[in-house]
Amino acid sequence: MTFTRMRITTLSMVGLFMVLLSGQGALQAADASPHQAITGVTILMGDKVIADGVILFKEGTILAVGKNVKLPKGTRTTSEKGKVLMAGLVAADSLLSAGPGADPHSINTQLVAVDGFDYFSSFQAQLAGGTTCAYLSPGDNRLVPGLGSVVKLGALPEKAIVKKVAALDSVLTPKALNPPPLYSPKPYPLPSELFPHQEGQLPSTPASQAAEFRRFLAQDNPTNTALKDNKLTLRIRADSVAEIKTALTIARENRLSPVIVGGREAGQVAPEIRRAKGTVVWRCPFNFNRVDTRDPQAPVEKPHLYAYTPALLEKAGVPVVICGATDSAQDLLSAVSFAVAHGFPREKALAAVTSQAASVLGVSDKVGSLDKGKHADFILLDGMPLAEGTAILKTYVNGRMVYEHQGLKKQAQAGDTLLKNALVLTGDGGHYPATDILIDKGIIVAVGHDLKGPARAKSIDLTGKVVIPGLIDLASRLGTHYFGADNETNVPPFNGGSTFLLSPGEIIRPDDPCFKASLEEGVMGILVRGGEGSVVAGTGALLMAGAVRDDFLVKPFACIDVDLSGSSWLSRLNQFKSLMGRLDAYEKAGKQYRDALEDYTHRKPRDTLNRMKEPAPPGVNPQYELLIKARKREIPLFVRVNRGDEIAGVVKFLAGETGFACNLVEAEGMLRAPHVAHLINGVILTPPFQRRIEGKMVDLPKLLEKKGIPFAIASDGALGSLYLRYYAAEAVRRGLSPDLALRALTSVPARMLGVSDQFGVIAKSRQANLVVLDGPVFTPGSRVQMVLLKGNVVYKRSGQ
Partner 1 sequence: MRSKTRITTILFLATFSLLVHGASRHLVAIKTKLTLTGSGRDQQNGIILIEDGIIKEVSPSLKIPWNAEVIDESKHIVMPGFVLAHTSRGLERANESMPDVPFLSTFDAIDPFQSFFRDSLRNGITGMLILPGNSTRFGGTGTVVKPTGKLVEDMLIQKPVGLKISMSPAGGQSRMGHVQQLRAYLDGAKKSLDKWNKQAKDPKTPKPGELSPALKTMDQLFKGTLKAFVYCPTASDVIRAIELIQQFKFKAILVLGENTWKAAPYIKKANLPVILPPDIMFFDRNPDTGEMKQVILPTIFAKMRIPFAFQCDPSSYDARTLWQVAAEAVKYGLPKNLALAAISSTPAGMIGLGGKTGQIRPGMEANLLVLTGDPLDPTTWIDKVLIGGKVVYDRKKDEYLKLLLKGSQK
**Site of interaction with partner 1 (CB under 8 A):** 6, 9-10, 13-14, 17-18, 21, 97-104, 108, 110-122, 124, 138-139, 146, 157-158, 185, 187-190
Cα 159 to Cα 18: distance, rounded to the nearest angstrom: 13
User: How far is it, in rounded angstroms, from Cα 259 to Cα 277?
Assistant: 9
CB of 5 to partner 1, least distance (A): 12
Nearer to partner 1, 147 or 336 (CB): 147
Q: Show Cβ contacts of residue 90 under 8 Å, excluding neighbours closer than 6 positions.
A: 131, 132, 133, 134, 135, 353, 354, 357, 358, 361, 363, 367, 368
Q: Which is nearer to partner 1, 126 or 476 (CB)?
A: 126
**What is the closest distance, in whole angstroms, from the C-beta atom of residue 579 to partner 1 in the complex?**
49
Nearer to partner 1, 121 or 411 (CB): 121
Select 10 or 79, whichever has its Cβ closest to partner 1. 10
Q: How far is the CB of 478 from partner 1 (least distance, A)?
A: 47
Least distance (Å) between residue 365 CB and partner 1: 24
Dihedrals φ, ψ of 628, to 5°? Answer: -65, -40
Nearest Cα to Cα of residue 528 among 512, 518, 542, 516: 542
CB 14, min distance to partner 1, A: 5
Cβ nearer to partner 1, comparing 18 with 535: 18
| Residue 119 or 653 with smaller CB distance to partner 1 | 119
Residue type, 320: V
d(CA 667, CA 112): 60
Strand partners, 48: 45
Amino acid at 70: K
Amino acid at 206: P
Least distance to partner 1 from the beta carbon of 104, Å? Answer: 7
Query: What distance lies between CA 384 and its chain's CA centroid?
Result: 25
Q: Which is nearer to partner 1, 222 or 617 (CB)?
A: 222
Minimum separation from the CB atom of position 175 to partner 1 (A): 15
Return the DSSP state at 658: I
Name the residue nearer to partner 1 (CB basis): 188 or 800. Answer: 188
| Cα–Cα nearest to 389, from 348, 433, 345 | 433
Sign of CA dihedral 664, 666, 669, 671: positive
| Nearer to partner 1 among residue 160 and residue 353 (C-beta) | 160
- Of the pair 156, 596, the CB lying nearest partner 1 is at 156
Q: How far is CA 403 from CA 37, 122, 400, in A?
A: 17, 9, 9
Separation CA 179–CA 202 (nearest Å):
7
What residues form DSSP beta bridges with 795?
A: 787
CA quadruple 619, 622, 625, 629: dihedral, nearest 10: 170
Q: Quick one: which of 315, 377, 371 has its CA closest to 348?
A: 315
Nearest approach, Cβ of residue 138 and partner 1 (Å) = 6
Closest CA relative to residue 557, chosen from 483, 463, 606, 623: 623
Q: How far apart are the first and last CA of the chain?
A: 87
Cis omega (within 30 of 0) on the bond before 206? no
Would strands 259-262 and 279-283 be described as parallel, antiparallel, or unpaired?
Answer: parallel
- Tell me the closest approach of the beta carbon of residue 195 to partner 1, in angstroms: 8
C-alpha 50/C-alpha 53 separation (Å) is 6
How many other CB atoms sit within 10 Å of the CB of residue 287?
A: 16
Nearest distance from residue 80's CB to partner 1, in Å? 23
Dist CA 782 CA 794 (whole Å): 19
**Least distance between partner 1 and beta carbon 621 (Å):** 47
Quote the least distance from Cβ 145 to partner 1, whole Å: 9
Please identify, using beta-carbon distances, which residue of 102 and 589 lies nearer to partner 1.
102
Q: For residues 189 and 222, which CB has a smaller minimum distance to partner 1 in the complex? A: 189
Which residue lies nearer to partner 1 by CB, 189 or 299?
Answer: 189
Closest approach of partner 1 to the CB of residue 9, in Å: 7
Is the previous residue joined to 319 through a cis bond, with omega within 30 degrees of 0? no
Cβ atoms of 95 and 326 closer than 8 Å: no
Q: CA 450, 452, 455 angle in degrees (round to 5)?
A: 145
- Coil vs helix vs strand at 403: strand
Choice between 103 and 371, CB closer to partner 1:
103
In the complex, the smallest distance separating the C-beta of residue 137 from partner 1, rounded to whole angstroms, is 10
Q: Is the dihedral of CA 767, 772, 776, 777 positive or negative?
A: negative
Do the bridges between strand 320-323 and strand 76-79 make them parallel or antiparallel, or are there none, so unpaired?
unpaired
Residue 385 pairs in a beta bridge with none
Q: How far is the CB of 169 from partner 1 (least distance, A)?
A: 11
CB-nearer residue toward partner 1: 21 or 535: 21
**Residue 122 CB, nearest approach to partner 1 (Å):** 6
Alpha carbon distance 482, 478 (integer Å): 9
Between 138 and 522, CB nearer to partner 1:
138
Are the beta carbons of 48 and 387 closer than 8 angstroms? Answer: no
Closest by CA position to 113, among listed 132, 131, 134, 130: 134
**Rounded to 5 degrees, what are φ and ψ at 796?**
-140, 130
Nearest to 480 by CA among 489, 472, 467: 489
Q: Which is nearer to partner 1, 138 or 262 (CB)?
A: 138
Q: Residue 358 forms beta bridges with which residues? A: none
- Please return the burial class of 188, using the count of CB atoms within 10 Å of its CB with bins 0-12, 13-18 and 19+: exposed
- Least distance (Å) from partner 1 to the CB of residue 130? 16
118 vs 598, beta carbon nearer partner 1: 118
Q: How far is the CB of 776 from partner 1 (least distance, A)?
A: 44
Q: Contact 293/250 with Cβ under 8 angstroms?
A: no
